[in-house]
Amino acid sequence: MKMILRWFPYGDDSVTLSQIRQIPGVTGVAACLPKIPVGETWPVEELRALTQTVRRAGLEMEVIESVNIHEDIKKGLPTRDRYIQNYIDTLGNLHAVGVKCLCYNFMPVMDWARSDLAAPLPDGSAAMSYRHEVVEQMHPESIGRAMAGKARGYSLPGWEPERLSAMAEDISFYQNFTQEQYWANMKYFLDAVIPAAEKADVRMAIHPDDPPWPLFGLPKVITDAERIRTFLRLNDSPYNGLTFCTGSLGARRDNDLPAMIREFAGRGRIHFAHLRNIRFSGERDFDECAHPSACGNLDMYEIIRALQASEFDGYIRPDHGRMIWGEIARPGYGLYDRALGATYLLGLWEAVEKTVSRG
Ligand SMILES: [Mn+2]
């Protein structure tokens, strides 16, 4: 297992690589090239420069998050083949710079949604929160604008301004789309890309839908164990795997996270884990909270135990954190709370490991 942190290059992050290097036990970052338009090939020269920057700071860059999927691929348009070829070329370039794992998602139109990016918590910190009725009553474009307004000047991955204008049109496109059509388009993508991922030795790790329930009548993909089974069956290669995000899947109370980990990591299909906790405040309402089990509704001890019982050997990151101690950062991606999260998770990992090995 390797503990990493997400990091955004080109000054689009308040957190520096040297700060990340000083978090005990964190050995690398999940990085990205945010300025490449979705659908285009990630140039190897830029990837090389980025890798060098990360390595010079004493860190590894074995994980990329995310190479986004062009909407034409999800829609199954004739133009998809060109974008799929670009994706395959990108995989080759990722291999050339030593990347081992690629986190991506296949959610239509929007990658994730929250009703508030800086909701006050009782302890005086702020965190991202989700209130289903609030989100459903908002127009997606206005959600995008409201979120951008609270992003402290940092880009919000998945909510890039150029995406907002097409959102209404894209949402109406999917209203007459069946779930079967969506799976078929996904299979078309996987069957083309997974052989290239095998050749490049880059494990594909799809991120669950966030939140894991229907929004604006859009098709859903990775929301529960049954849909994950369907997804994994679309292409049986071990390179067709998951990013197991506990905060996303855990928002559905009927998802038994430790059981899901034992099933999917046990079959070698979890390559990356996003570990964070959430606190429920209604059936479809939750706040992101600090990582320890006592702070939320997820049992992080059982989650770590399930990962180890499945001999999970991938990457873990503490995913989002709260804004604490007056920090100003991209929502979810400050330094302090994620560093606390990484330390807590590493402590749990060590405790479970030693308990098991000493019987
Ligand atoms: Mn996540």
The pTM assigned to this predicted structure is 0.95
Q: What does pLDDT average to over the chain?
A: 93
Q: What is the spatial distance between Cα 258 and Cα 249, in angstroms, rounded to a whole number? A: 11
Q: How confident is the model at residue 72 (pLDDT cuts 50, 70, 90)?
A: very high
Instruction: Inform me whether the pLDDT recorded for 49 exceeds 80.
Output: yes
Nearest Cα neighbor of 123 from 253, 287, 274, 3 is 287
Which residues are designated catalytic? 207, 245, 274, 319-320, 333
Identify the domain containing residue 104 by its residue range: 2-357
13 Cα–ligand 1 center, Å: 18
Q: How confident is the model at residue 153 (pLDDT cuts 50, 70, 90)?
A: confident
Helix (H, G, I), strand (E, B) or coil at 255: coil
Count of structural domains, the chain: 1
Instruction: Inform me whether the pLDDT recorded for 165 exceeds 90.
Output: no
Nearest Cα neighbor of 35 from 162, 205, 208 is 162
Instruction: Give the domain CATH number at 113.
Output: 3.20.20.150
Q: What is the spatial distance between Cα 298 and Cα 99, in angstroms, rounded to a whole number? A: 31
3-state secondary structure 116-172: EEEEECCCCCEEEEEEHHHHHHCCHHHHHHHHHHCCCCCCCCCCCHHHHHHHHHHHH
238 Cα–ligand 1 center, Å: 21
What average pLDDT does range 299-307 have in this prediction? Answer: 98
Instruction: Inform me whether the pLDDT recorded for 147 exceeds 90.
Output: no
Residue type, 346: L
29 Cα–ligand 1 center, Å: 14
With contact defined as beta carbons under 8 Å apart, do 34 and 9 qualify? yes
119 Cα–ligand 1 center, Å: 19
303 Cα–ligand 1 center, Å: 15
In this prediction, residue 80 carries a pLDDT of 97
pLDDT digits 0-9 by tens, 84-130? 999 999 999 999 999 999 999 999 888 788 888 999 999 999 999 99
210 Cα–ligand 1 center, Å: 8
